[in-house]
Amino acid sequence: MAAEPPSSPLPERLIAHLDMDAFYASVELLRYPELKGLPVVIGGRREHAPRLREDGTREFAKLRDYTGRGVATTSTYAARDLGVFSAMGLMKAALRAPDAILLPTDFDRYRHYSRLFKAAVAELAPVIEDRGIDEIYIDLSAVPGIREPVGHDPLGGIRSVAREIKNSVLRATGLTCSIGITPNKLLSKIASEIDKPDGITVLLAEEIPARIWPLSVRKINGIGPKAAARLAALGIETVGQIAAAEPAWLIEQFGKSYGAWLHEASHGRDNRPVVTFSEPVSISRETTFERDLHAVHDRAELGRIFTRLCEQLAGDLERKGYQGRTIGIKLRFEGFHTVTRDLTLDEPIADAQALRRAAGSCLKRVNFDKRLRLLGVRIGNLSHPGDAPPAAKARKTARGASAEAPSGAARPETLPLF
Ligand code: TTP
Ligand code: MG
Ligand code: MG
């Protein structure tokens, strides 16, 4: 006998969004299991690494002892209960949770676990769009069994595929994640957050009014703080209020393209495909200093930091198999004024020394009259070693010199370069 058909047919597309739970913090808990359930914040420096006591137990740094202006990359759910969240200054966080444990950030380790969880998912469902270190979209439309009901549950097939994916991520990494499955990326991104941590949320179009419309407009990926503030000024706080607004009025307020998109998004409509691979536009490394540094007085320290950034960038290029021709620097001065300069070479480079030389020549085009708080190095115009050589027309060019610093012989060599 044939199984009962679902009350309405399943949509053609079934898209998942998977996001790891408290990712950096959960990776740290794998090696320090004694911290399970405690408020833990990630964002310290190397000196905040735990010390091994003689009796074999570990001594952890406490948030109350932190000084500096680092920010939390993330925190455990116990720390979130105390009001500590991503991007919060650690000293501010210490006021809310002085006894929380502070751990240094270990990006290499997080990247390793990122690769592991993505590989585990790919074995079950290969159509994956990489959205960063801890999240992916997965096109599940053609996964075997997904459209089969289980018992009386027409969504049973979807739920069991979701459970299988979560189990496989857990086996490969020891980590939990949350999954949203809906007809498109926009809704799935919202859905994956609904039952965090360790959740599965399946949501079909007919449930949009009940489950999406009551949510804050900020839950839509694409409505940032500025758009939300403008919507609030117009009396709109929830997705449902956008949905109830006239499209013509939204367009009047927000322009043709964003206004029309707001209308579509509020009705949960989104046709974007899951894009399985995209070449990165550029790769970069940057660091914010613990204290503002002076180009002359802190020259040696700046030089070391600059060299290290170039080495890290060279490491990224090697791991990912890229080289690049456009090398850029980013400087942020006290007062948050940010300056970028870049330089395009004839031939692609990838090694640390060549990066240091090219980035160093960009530095010569910057005025250092203020102290620095951030330094970054970027490489773009990427290719793979062994690709066809770049078109001959693109000769050496320099951009970003801007009006304050005309390039050419007249420009004085103002600064001592680190
Ligand atoms: P998120 O997925 O936004 O957060 P999360 O995984 O820590 O927690 P949740 O369970 O709510 O998903 O970000 C993934 C990682 O990216 C996070 O663990 C740390 C890093 N991150 C930052 O470094 N800075 C930030 O501002 C944010 C939001 C994240
Ligand atoms: Mg996450
Ligand atoms: Mg995420």
Dmax (CA) of the chain: 88
Residues of the chain with CATH 1.10.150.20: 213-270
* 213 three-class SS: coil
What would the two tokens of residue 333 be? 């001065």
CA of 126 to the centre of ligand 3 (A): 20
Fold designation for 24-105: MutS, DNA mismatch repair protein, domain I (3.40.1170)
Tens digits of residue pLDDT in 15-56:
999 999 999 999 999 999 999 999 999 999 999 999 999 999
**Contact of 77 with 22, CB cutoff 8 Å:** yes
pLDDT at 411: 37
Q: Facing residues of 71 across strands?
A: 89
Task: State the closest ligand 1 atom to the C-alpha of 197, by its place in the atom list counted from 1.
Answer: 10
Q: Is domain 282-399 given the CATH code 3.30.1490.100 in the classification?
A: yes
CA of 292 to the centre of ligand 2 (A): 31
Q: Any known ligand binding at 99?
A: no
- CATH architecture classification, 213-270: Orthogonal Bundle (1.10)
C-alpha span between 267 and 270 (Å, rounded): 9
As a whole number, mean pLDDT of residues 225-253 equals 98
Tens digits of residue pLDDT in 366-410:
999 899 999 999 999 999 887 765 554 444 455 543 333 333 333
Tens digits of residue pLDDT in 271-299:
999 999 767 889 999 999 999 999 999 99
Tens digits of residue pLDDT in 344-367:
999 999 999 999 999 999 999 999
What would the two tokens of residue 65 be? 């002892």
Pocket test for ligand 1, best of 40, 73, 221 (most atoms within 8 A of CB): 73
**Contact of 90 with 41, CB cutoff 8 Å:** yes
Task: State the closest ligand 1 atom to the C-alpha of 21, by its place in the atom list counted from 1.
Answer: 10
pLDDT at 7: 55
C-alpha span between 39 and 26 (Å, rounded): 12
CA of 80 to the centre of ligand 1 (A): 12
How confident is residue 2, by pLDDT bands cut at 50, 70 and 90?
Answer: very low
C-alpha span between 193 and 219 (Å, rounded): 9
On the question of pLDDT at 415 being above 50, the answer is no
As a whole number, mean pLDDT of residues 81-103 equals 97
Tens digits of residue pLDDT in 196-205:
999 999 999 9
Task: Give, as one character, the DSSP assignment of residue 181.
Answer: E
Going by their DSSP bridges, the two strands 40-44 and 74-75 should be labelled as antiparallel
Only one residue has tokens 């579509």, namely 264
pLDDT at 8: 64
As a whole number, mean pLDDT of residues 168-185 equals 98
pLDDT at 412: 35
Reference 113, options 52, 174, 194; nearest CA is: 174
Which protein residues touch ligand 1 with a CB less than 6 Å away? 19-24, 73-74, 86-87, 133-134, 196-197
Residues of the chain with CATH 3.30.1490.100: 282-399
pLDDT at 394: 43
C-alpha span between 188 and 181 (Å, rounded): 5
C-alpha span between 60 and 35 (Å, rounded): 10
pLDDT at 265: 98
Q: Whose CA is nearest to atom 24 of ligand 1?
A: 73
| Number of Cβ atoms within 10 Å of the Cβ of 250 | 22
CA of 178 to the centre of ligand 2 (A): 8
Q: Any known ligand binding at 134?
A: yes
Give the residue numbers marked as catalytic.
135
On the question of pLDDT at 87 being above 90, the answer is yes
Task: State the closest ligand 1 atom to the C-alpha of 75, by its place in the atom list counted from 1.
Answer: 7
Contacts for 249 with CB less than 8 Å, ≥ 6 apart: none
Between 315 and 9, residue with greater pLDDT: 315
Tens digits of residue pLDDT in 109-126:
999 999 999 999 999 999
C-alpha span between 47 and 104 (Å, rounded): 8
pLDDT at 385: 87
